[in-house]
Amino acid sequence: MKILNLHIQRFRGIVDLKLNFNGENAVIFGPNGVGKSAVVDAVDFLLRGEVSRLTGEGTGDVSTAKHGPHIDNPPEKARIMATIQSATGKIFAVERTVAQKDRVIIDPAFSSDFNDMVAYAQSGAHCLARRELLRYILTTPSTRSQQIQMLLDIADTKTVRDALLKLKKTTASTLKSIEDSLERYSSDLRTKVGAKSDDQFLEKINSLRAVLGGDALASINENSFINGLLYSDTKENTEIASYIRNLEELEKYIPTLRPTLQEKLQNVQDVVQKIENENTSIENINYISLIKLGLELLDGTGRCPLCLHEWASEIELRQILQERKETSESLSTLLDIYQNSIAAVLKEISAYESKIGVLSHQLTKWDNGCAAILESELKLIAAASFPDNNKYENFSKVQELVITVINQSPDLLLSLIQKQMAVLCSLFDENSKAKSDAWQTLNVANELLIKIGELSKKLPVFKLAAEKAVFLLETYDDSQAAVLNDLFTSISDRFTEFYKALHIDDEKDFSAVLNKDGAGINMSVDFYGKGQFPPMAFHSEGHQDSMGIALFFALMEKLTASESGLVVLDDVVMSVDIEHRKNYCKLLKSFFPEHQFIITTHDTVWARNLVNEGVVNRKNSIQFLSWNVTEGPIIIIGQDVWKTTRAKANIDLHGTSAFFRREMECFFENVCHKLHARVRYNNVHKWDYGQYMNAAYKELQDLIKKALRLARGFNKTEAINQLETLSSTLRALLTAVNAENWVTNVLIHYNQDYEISKAEFLAAVDALEKFCQCFECSRCYTTISALYTGETPVMLTCKCGSYAHPLEK
């Protein structure tokens, strides 16, 4: 797609501006704050219905809807109109207003052509700004990956991969949980019936059944352990039996509690002592704990569990957290040990609490003092169950409570429990108790067996789901690798080619490698044959800018099926020097002849280079001179230094004189470059306007002489006339220039006490305009150039061929 013309009304500082690009490259230049970027915004808005600069991170309350219209204008009056030429050559009009920014006004017959361009623009490939260059080059693999994925329109592949990764984790975790439950239930089942092995299991079940008068089961796979059993007792008896069982369990447990707690507390105290020896602050301990928690909470989606920022690569986020954790590895290890050991202490307390359970309430009816002491035990240990009791900072509180438990003698409690059991046992006979125990054990065992059966049945389903999830993720990674590896190889090759074109003089053997590493994209570049390094390692800022441009072009190419496309380059060559800018021009001309580039810059020299090098036609050189709120930007179309100078002369003659001298210096420097003119050497490598002009004049006259000699030899009348006229005009105009040129002398224009009249200044401008025209083709406006073969000039030429004079036989 190309823009033939663009009409911007009441939008982003522009009141009413018409630009006729005619589908060709254009340069928009001028100082800061004159409305250049508003043109970039207008193109962006026309294509996407949004202005990139007004959306996204850091824009706060600013929005296209509110801040798109020029100040004090309603959104319906802020509109962009354009005549577009599609890649297939169709021409149509498009219009979009800020009031209805999601809708374009277009002949439906062309909607599909325009939508292709919109899709291309949604990825950001229509515009490159300098801030984006940095995101390609001076960045982490994940940020680069995000930027590249967005540009290549493959950001959704991350969503799919994240989904499949999550699927794999979920199915694996469900499977593990089922397997763990199966193992736990099986172990609980053996413990419950008192079987040390599977062999003993059936025997134990049958002996329990025998207590209840039941037949022996032939196998544990029979329907139920309580099959054919009849057991009934009064509610009270059932309750009493249950209380006795609980008291028996407590009686066995209490003697082991204190030594176990003592041992486990000692482990914590040892590790706390080691942490204290590290001499660190509680803040640092909390920080490391947070990092460790963050690592535990990573769920495979790449989302930071703390700030919810989505990383392109969870691997990278994990790596960063891991690195931070490892910087305090010994402390981190000690904190791990602390966590495990304090958890063991708290688990023991919790086990004790659950064993006491609600016994104190249940025993009230037959209480002999046991309920009250159990209640006080509960109160004591419940104090340890406060929020964050496992945190390092809360250790002293937990330690104090545990020591209180340890120091309290269990003797009284144990004797009361025994007495309580005696009271309860006297309430019914031993046989009843044995039957109740057997019935309870068989029922619990039966429940466990049912659970085991259900889980065993489902296990293969979950196993298969987990296998499928692994297969899906691996297959997706393989599919992605197959497509992206080829893609990245071709991008690397093209990037290298573009970069070499930009740095043909100093890095002709450059090479680069771009590869996908997990969800990130690594980039390494050759540094003068010394090896592959990250781009920011040794290369200068200018070289890095070149890499950004080269990579953008390499990526952009992958998005356009056709060879034509619109690209806005928003001030992207700031750090590139003059020689490399010329290579940049060659790159645009030779690799992208069918693209339309709209280039903005605040550098007038660069704008002139683009015209002189033939990238931009002079009539598409648009200078933004100034801006005011009522009129918007004041512009000059056609990069006319003469018009600009004359307009400026009305305001400040001395300033304009300096400006004009600088313009002429640039002009003749470029002529010298084109003609390979010999400027008298100096060791500071700095030449002024006069030196450039004289060298350019002499060189052109010498080349004309050579060309004339050949033209006369072949009797080429037309060429002879053209060359003789040019030579004599040059000679005559040089005399006029020399007569008027004193006003551009530095001693004059830097001297405020010296009066220059406007007439005197304009006379010099007139003389120089005519003189300068001699160095350009009057048809294509490009500078007349000398083509060289080695050290020999072979042709005097211009872009359109109006000048094509051989200099050698």
C-alpha to C-alpha distance for 562 and 576, rounded to whole angstroms: 29
**Least distance in angstroms from the C-beta of 110 to another protein:** 14
Which among 577, 794, 768 has a CA at the least distance from the CA of 661? 768
**Least distance in angstroms from the C-beta of 104 to another protein:** 17
Count the residues of the shown chain that bind another protein, applying the rule CB under 8 A. 47
195 CB neighbour count, 10 Å cutoff: 17
C-alpha to C-alpha distance for 363 and 359, rounded to whole angstroms: 6
Task: Figure out which of the listed residues 558, 618, 676, 698 binds another protein, where binding follows CB under 8 A.
Answer: 558
Restricted to residues 694-733, the positions that interact with another protein (CB under 8 A) are none
Nearer to another protein, 301 or 492 (CB): 301
511 to 550: interface string for another protein, x by CB under 8 A: ----------------------------------------
How far from 717 is each of 454, 597, 806, CA to CA, in Å? 105, 41, 14
Q: Which stretch binds another protein (CB under 8 A): 112-120, 266-274, 281-289, 314-322?
A: 112-120
450 CB neighbour count, 10 Å cutoff: 12
**Least distance in angstroms from the C-beta of 100 to another protein:** 23
Task: Figure out which of the listed residues 119, 216, 306, 422 binds another protein, where binding follows CB under 8 A.
Answer: 119
Residue located via tokens 């325009």: 114
Nearer to another protein, 478 or 688 (CB): 478
Restricted to residues 292-321, the positions that interact with another protein (CB under 8 A) are 301
**Least distance in angstroms from the C-beta of 724 to another protein:** 55
Residue located via tokens 């920014």: 101
C-alpha to C-alpha distance for 666 and 672, rounded to whole angstroms: 10
**Least distance in angstroms from the C-beta of 159 to another protein:** 5
Nearer to another protein, 185 or 659 (CB): 185
**Least distance in angstroms from the C-beta of 315 to another protein:** 16
Q: Quote the tokens at residue 192.
A: 């419950």
Task: Figure out which of the listed residues 561, 651, 747, 759 binds another protein, where binding follows CB under 8 A.
Answer: 561
Run of H or E including 385 = none
Nearer to another protein, 116 or 375 (CB): 116
Restricted to residues 619-658, the positions that interact with another protein (CB under 8 A) are none
Which among 43, 93, 35 has a CA at the least distance from the CA of 565? 43
Q: Which stretch binds another protein (CB under 8 A): 336-344, 559-567, 631-639, 775-783?
A: 559-567
C-alpha to C-alpha distance for 283 and 291, rounded to whole angstroms: 12
Helix, coil or strand: residue 367:
coil
Nearer to another protein, 167 or 726 (CB): 167
Residues 6+ apart with CB under 8 A from 252: none
**Least distance in angstroms from the C-beta of 90 to another protein:** 14
Task: Figure out which of the listed residues 21, 120, 659, 667 binds another protein, where binding follows CB under 8 A.
Answer: 120
453 to 492: interface string for another protein, x by CB under 8 A: --x--x--xx-xxxxxx-xx--xx-xxx-xxx--x-----
With 0-12 CB in 10 A as exposed, 13-18 as middle and 19+ as buried, what is 495?
Answer: buried
* Bridge partner list, 596: 566
Biggest CA pair distance of the chain = 142
Nearer to another protein, 120 or 243 (CB): 120
243 to 282: interface string for another protein, x by CB under 8 A: ----------------------------------------
Restricted to residues 134-163, the positions that interact with another protein (CB under 8 A) are 152-154, 156-157, 159-160, 162-163
AA identity, residue 482? A
718 CB neighbour count, 10 Å cutoff: 8
What crossing angle do the helices spanning 578-591 and 541-559 adopt, rounded to 10°? 10
**Least distance in angstroms from the C-beta of 602 to another protein:** 33
**Least distance in angstroms from the C-beta of 167 to another protein:** 5
**Least distance in angstroms from the C-beta of 489 to another protein:** 14
DSSP-based helix, strand, coil % in the chain, nearest 5 = 60, 10, 25
Q: Which stretch binds another protein (CB under 8 A): 75-83, 115-123, 133-141, 318-326?
A: 115-123
Residue located via tokens 């109160």: 379
Nearer to another protein, 564 or 785 (CB): 564
Run of H or E including 556 = helix 541-559
**Least distance in angstroms from the C-beta of 294 to another protein:** 19
Nearer to another protein, 83 or 560 (CB): 560
- State the Cα angle at 249 between 245 and 255, rounded to 5°: 150
Dihedral sign computed on CA atoms, order 470, 475, 478, 483: negative
C-alpha to C-alpha distance for 157 and 478, rounded to whole angstroms: 13
59 to 98: interface string for another protein, x by CB under 8 A: ----------------------------------------
Nearer to another protein, 177 or 234 (CB): 177
Q: What are phi and psi of 409, to 5 degrees?
A: -70, 135
Run of H or E including 150 = helix 141-151
Nearer to another protein, 478 or 506 (CB): 478
Restricted to residues 160-179, the positions that interact with another protein (CB under 8 A) are 160, 162-164, 166-167, 170-171, 174, 177-178
Nearer to another protein, 231 or 476 (CB): 476
**Least distance in angstroms from the C-beta of 303 to another protein:** 9
In the DSSP assignment, the letter for residue 498 is H
Q: What are phi and psi of 530, to 5 degrees?
A: -95, 5
How far from 122 is each of 47, 155, 291, 519, CA to CA, in Å? 8, 12, 37, 22
Task: Figure out which of the listed residues 25, 560, 596, 656 binds another protein, where binding follows CB under 8 A.
Answer: 560
* Bridge partner list, 514: 523
Report yes or no: 300 and 380 within 8 Å, Cβ to Cβ. no
Residue located via tokens 């007439």: 759
**Least distance in angstroms from the C-beta of 539 to another protein:** 29
**Least distance in angstroms from the C-beta of 485 to another protein:** 11
**Least distance in angstroms from the C-beta of 80 to another protein:** 22
Nearer to another protein, 152 or 774 (CB): 152
How far from 49 is each of 63, 90, 128, CA to CA, in Å? 12, 22, 18
Q: What is the 3-state secondary structure (H, E, C) of 437-495?
A: HHHHHHHHHHHHHHHHHHHHHHHHHHHHHHHHHHHHHHHHHHHHHHHHHHHHHHHHHHH
Nearer to another protein, 138 or 465 (CB): 465
**Least distance in angstroms from the C-beta of 297 to another protein:** 15
**Least distance in angstroms from the C-beta of 1 to another protein:** 10
In our burial notation (b when 16+ CB lie closer than 10 A, e otherwise), range 372-394 reads eebeebbebbebbeeeebebbee
Report yes or no: 51 and 119 within 8 Å, Cβ to Cβ. no
In the DSSP assignment, the letter for residue 50 is S
**Least distance in angstroms from the C-beta of 495 to another protein:** 17
Nearer to another protein, 210 or 483 (CB): 483
Question: In terms of C-beta distances under 8 Å and separation of at least 24 residues, what long-range contacts does 72-75 make, across chains too?
Answer: 73/10, 74/99, 75/99, 75/101
178 to 217: interface string for another protein, x by CB under 8 A: x---------------------------------------
Nearer to another protein, 160 or 739 (CB): 160
Nearer to another protein, 164 or 700 (CB): 164
Q: Which residues bind another protein (CB under 8 A)?
A: 116, 119-120, 152-154, 156-157, 159-160, 162-164, 166-167, 170-171, 174, 177-178, 301, 455, 458, 461-462, 464-469, 471-472, 475-476, 478-480, 482-484, 487, 558-562
